[in-house]
Chain A
Amino acid sequence: MSVGAVAIAPSRAVSPKQIGIAGIVLAAIAWVITIPPIESRGMVPTIVLAVLAVCAGAWAIAGGERKIGSEAIVVALFAVAGAAASVNSAVSTLESVFTWSALVAATLRYATPLLFAALGGVISESSGVINVGLEGMMLMGCFWGVYGADLLGSWVWGLVVAAVAGGLLALLHAIFSVHLRANQIVSGFGINFLALGITGYFLEYHYGPNGTPLNISMIPNVKIPGIQHIGFFGAAFGDANLMTWIGIALVPALTFFLFRTRGGLRLRSVGEKPRAADTVGVSVVRIRYTAVVASGVFAALGGAYLSVGFVGSFSNDMTNGRGFIALAAMIFGKWKPWGAFWAVLLFGFGNAMSDRVSSVNPTLGTLFEALPYVLTLVAVAGLVGRSRPPAADGIPYVRD
C-alpha cells in the first residue's frame, strides 16, 4: 500500500538469520578457493570474501541473531588463517594434502566407528538414559570381535560376539541406571573402567604378551563394480568397508524408526515424558532397557569395525577416547541421527586431514589433530547452545 511497506519488504524477505548463514557460507568459500581444484594463489579474493562475511555477520548480530552472526565472523577469521597457510604452501604440497578422493575415503574410514557409537548414543539418550559408557562398550566390541573372529573363524561371528559382549555391558549400565537409579554419568564412567579392565585382563589371559593373532578373518570391503574405476568416485567410494555402508544405511533407517514408527514414538515419549508414557500403558522400564542394550550393541559394532574391519588386531585401550568423541558428536548433532552423521564426518575429516598434513609436515600434522576438537568447541559455544536434550535424559523414572 504505502511507500513504507515497500521499503520494509526487502529486509523481511531476507531475515537476519539467512544473512548470518550467507556470511558463514561466504567465509567458507573464502578458504575453499585457495585449495585444489581452484587454487587461487593470491590473498585478495579471500580477503574480499572474508570482509563480506564479517559484514554479513555484523548485520546478523545487529538483527538479533547473535550466535549465527558471531559464528560467521569466527569462521571468516579461520578462513583467512587457512587461506594464508594454503597460499604460502607450494602447489605440490597442496595437491598432495588435498587429494579429495583419498580424503573422502579416509574420512569415511575414520568416521565409521564413531558413527555406530553416536547412533547408539542417540537411541539410549532418546529413551532418557545418558550413556557415557559408549567408550567401554566400543572397547568390548573391539576385543570380543577379534576374539570371536579368531575362535570361530569368521568375521561374521566376530560381529555377533562383539554385539553380545557390548549388549551385556550395556545391560549392566541399564540395571544401574534404570533399576538402581544411579547417577548415570557416574555409572557410565564405572562401565568404562570395567571394560578397560575386562578387555585388558582377557587379552592377557587368552593371548599373553604376543597379542591377538594377525591372520584373523576381516570384514571385507565392498567393491562397487559400476563406479570402481571412475576417477574420483572410484577412489572415494569404490572400495569402502562393508561396515561403512551399513553405518550410512542405518542413519535414514534410524531416523525413520524414531520419527515415523510407533516404536520410535514410544521410545521418544519415554525420554521426554515418562510419566505420560507410563499412564497410557507404555512400559518405561522395558523400553529403557531395550534402548540401552541396543546402544551397547551399536557401539560394540563400531568397536568391532575398528579391530576386525580396520586394524586386524586388538591392543589395550584401542578405542582411545573415540566413545567420548561419539558422545560429543551426538550432542553436537542435537540428539538426532542425521546431526550425529554430519558431526562424525567432521571428526573423520579432521583425522583424515591431519594424516595428510602429517605426511608432508609431521609437526604441523599434530596441530591438525586438535582441529576437529577446536571446531567442536566453537560450534558447541555457538550452535548447540540452542539445542535441547530429551527432557527426561538422565532422570531415573520412579513409578508411584
Chain B
Amino acid sequence: MSLLEDELKAEAEESQGAAVTSPAALTAFRRGASGVMVPIVTTIIAFIAAGLIVLATGHNPLSTYQSIFNGTGLNWVFPWVTGGERATAAGNLQQTLLQATPLLLVGLAVAFAFRAGMFNIGGQGQYTVGLIAAVWIGSSFSGMPAVLHIVFAIVAAAAAGAVWAGIAGVLKAATGANEVISTIMLNWIAIWLGVYCFQLGGPLQNPHMSSTPVSSNVVAGAKLPVFWGSSTLQGLDIGIFIALALAVVFSVLINRTRLGYEARTVGFNPDAARYAGVNVGRTWVRVMLICGAFAGVAAALDILGWKFNVFTNDILTSQIGFYGIAVALLGRNTAGGTVAAALLFGALLTGTSDRNIHLSIDPTLVQYLTFMIEGIIILLVSTDVITLRLLKGGRQLRVALKRKPSEEAPKSDAGAS
C-alpha cells in the first residue's frame, strides 16, 4: 500500500464512510483531486522555492516576480493599465501567446504518447524536421494562392514530423526498440540534418546570403495573417487558433474515437490490450504518427507566423522538445491542462526574456530562475505525494484528532519501536 493510497483512503473514509474504498472510487477521487488542484499547488510551491533562491542571492523576490508578470503582458487584462504601458503590455502579451502556441502543440505531441504508455522525448526532432519542411515549402512556390500555400506548408511539416516520430513507433512495434532511446537518437539526427540543410553551402541555404547560415525567407503569400498588433513587429497571428483547434482535436481523438480508446487501453496495460484484441504494435505506430504531426504543425506555425526563416543556430539551441515534456507533464496529459501549462510556460519565457529591460534584477539571472522553477515543477509533478500531503494536511489533522486515543496509541508505538 503506497503512501498516496493510504491518504486517498483516509480521505474517502472521511467524506463518505468506510464503505467507499473500492479502487474505482479511489481512482475517481484521485482524478478529481489531482485534476486541477495538484498542478496549481505545485506551481505555487515552485515559485516560492525559486523565490527563496532569489532571496538568498540578495535580490527581492516580490519585485522580481512583479516585473516578470509585467513582462508577460498579462497585466494587459487589468483595465487600469492605460496609455503607453498598455501598448507595451499588449506587445508582451502577443509575444507570450506566440511562445505558447508551439509549446501547446509539442506538449500535445508528448501527452498523446503518454496516454498510450509511451515516452516521446522526440518532440525536438519532430519539430526540427517540421521546420525544415515548412521553411522549404514556405519559401518556394511563390506563385501559389495564399490559402493553398499555407495549408500545403502546414501539411508538409505535419507529414515530416509524423514520419520522424513514426520511425520510432515502427521500430518499437517491429523490434521492441525502446522509444526513449530511439527518439533521443532521432532528435540528434534531425538536428544535424537541419544544420546540414541550412549551413553555408547546404542544399536549403539562402542563395542571396551566401555568408550566413540561414534559410530563404517565407514568401509573403505563405505568411499567416496577423490579427492583433503590427504584422511587422511580431504581432499575434492566427496560428494560435489552429493550435487551440488541434487541442480540441486531441481531446476528441483521445476520448471519443476508437484509436483513442485503444491507445488508452494500451497505455494502461499492453498485455491486457493485446489479449482483448487490440493490435498493440499498430496502435503504437499510429499514436507516434499523430504525435509527430502535432510537433510538425508547431514548427509550421512558428515559421509561417513570425519566424519566416531558420538559422542553423536556432536549430542547435532550441529547447522546445524539453519544454514540451514539461508542459505535458504539468498539464496532466489532458487537452485543457496542456493549454494552461503552455500558457504558463509561454508567459515565463516571455516574462524573463532579454527584451524586458525594466527588470529590477539581471535578466540573465531571471532566465535561469525560470529553468529552476520549471525543474522544481517537474520534480513535484513526478510524485503526487508531497502536494497531496500539503493539500490534505489540514483535513488529515482533523481526522486524526477525531480518532479515539486508543486507536492512535498502538500506531505511534509501532512507529517509535
Contacts and interface: CB of A to CB of B under 8 A. Distances in A.
B344 interface: no
B181 A376 contact: yes
Contacts of A193: 322, 326, 371-372, 374-375, 378
Interface residues of B, number: 57
Given A185-B180, A367-B196, A398-B2, A197 B368 contact: yes
B378 A380 contact: no
Contacts of A180: 383, 385-386
B311 interface: no
A331 B183 CA distance: 13
Contact of B192 (A184, A204, A370): A370
B337 to A, nearest CB: 15
A67 B176 CA distance: 12
B379 interface: yes
A328 B181 contact: yes
A187 interface: yes
A193 B365 CA distance: 15
A189 B326 contact: yes
Interface stretch (A282-290, A305-313, A381-389): A381-389
A242 interface: no
B189 A382 contact: no
A398 B6 CA distance: 13
Contacts of A183: 382-383
A321 to B, nearest CB: 7
Contact of A195 (B4, B192, B375): B375
Given A370-B189, A380-B182, A189 B369 contact: no
Q: Is the interface of A mostly helix, strand, loop or mixed?
A: helix
A64 interface: no
B380 to A, nearest CB: 8
Contacts of A331: 178, 181
A380 B172 CA distance: 10
Among B200, B329, B371, residue most surrounded by chain A Cβ atoms (within 10 Å): B371
Interface string B369-406: 11111111111111101100000000000000000000
A367 B57 CA distance: 44
B244 interface: no
Contacts of B325: 189
B383 A384 contact: no
A332 to B, nearest CB: 7
B318 to A, nearest CB: 12
A191 B375 contact: yes
A176 B383 contact: yes
A218 to B, nearest CB: 26
B119 interface: yes
A276 interface: no
A190 B42 CA distance: 13
A176 B188 contact: no
Interface in A301-328: 321, 324-325, 327-328
B200 to A, nearest CB: 7
B196 A181 contact: no
B182 A201 contact: no
B371 A381 contact: no
A213 interface: no
A190 B175 contact: no
Interface in A367-400: 367, 369-370, 373-374, 376-377, 380-382, 384-385, 398, 400
Contacts of B379: 172, 176, 182, 187, 190-191, 194
A384 B181 CA distance: 11
A327 B379 CA distance: 20
Contacts of B368: 196-201, 204
B189 A194 contact: no
Given A197-B372, A198-B372, A377 B182 contact: yes
A207 B249 CA distance: 48
Interface string B339-374: 000000000000000000000001011011111111
A201 B383 contact: no
B45 interface: no
A200 B335 CA distance: 32
A238 B69 CA distance: 57
B113 to A, nearest CB: 12
A220 interface: no
A193 B330 CA distance: 14
B239 to A, nearest CB: 26
Contacts of B374: 193, 197
Given A185-B119, A200-B368, A366-B195, A190 B375 contact: yes
Contacts of A363: 196, 199-202
Interface in A163-210: 172, 176, 180-187, 189-201, 204-205, 209
A382 B383 contact: no
Nearest to B124: A321
B151 interface: no
Contact of B199 (A199, A332, A362): A362
B211 to A, nearest CB: 13
Interface string B14-43: 000000000000000000000000000000
B254 to A, nearest CB: 20
Contact of B383 (A172, A181, A376, A398): A181
A382 B365 CA distance: 45
Contact of A384 (B177, B329, B370): B177
A380 B181 contact: yes
A374 B189 contact: yes
A169 to B, nearest CB: 10
A369 B181 CA distance: 17
Contacts of A327: 181, 184
A350 to B, nearest CB: 10
Nearest to B59: A205
A358 to B, nearest CB: 11
B322 A381 contact: no
Nearest to A368: B192
Given A363-B201, A366-B199, A186 B329 contact: yes
A341 to B, nearest CB: 18
Contacts of A200: 364, 367-368, 371
Contacts of B180: 185
A24 B49 CA distance: 55
A189 B189 contact: no
18 contacts: A172-B379, A182-B379, A182-B382, A191-B379, A193-B375, A195-B375, A197-B372, A197-B373, A197-B375, A200-B368, A204-B364, A209-B364, A321-B188, A332-B181, A363-B202, A366-B202, A370-B189, A381-B175
Interface of B: 1-4, 53, 57, 119, 167, 171, 174-178, 180-182, 184-189, 192-193, 195-196, 199-202, 322, 325-326, 329, 362, 364-365, 367-383, 385-386
Given A183-B383, A193-B372, A381-B174, 9 more contacts: A193-B371, A205-B57, A324-B184, A362-B199, A366-B199, A369-B192, A370-B193, A374-B185, A377-B182
Interface of A: 67, 172, 176, 180-187, 189-201, 204-205, 209, 321, 324-325, 327-328, 331-332, 362-363, 366-367, 369-370, 373-374, 376-377, 380-382, 384-385, 398, 400
Q: Considering the complex of A and B, which 3 residue pairs feature the smallest CB-CB distances, nearest first?
A: A194-B375, A197-B371, A197-B372
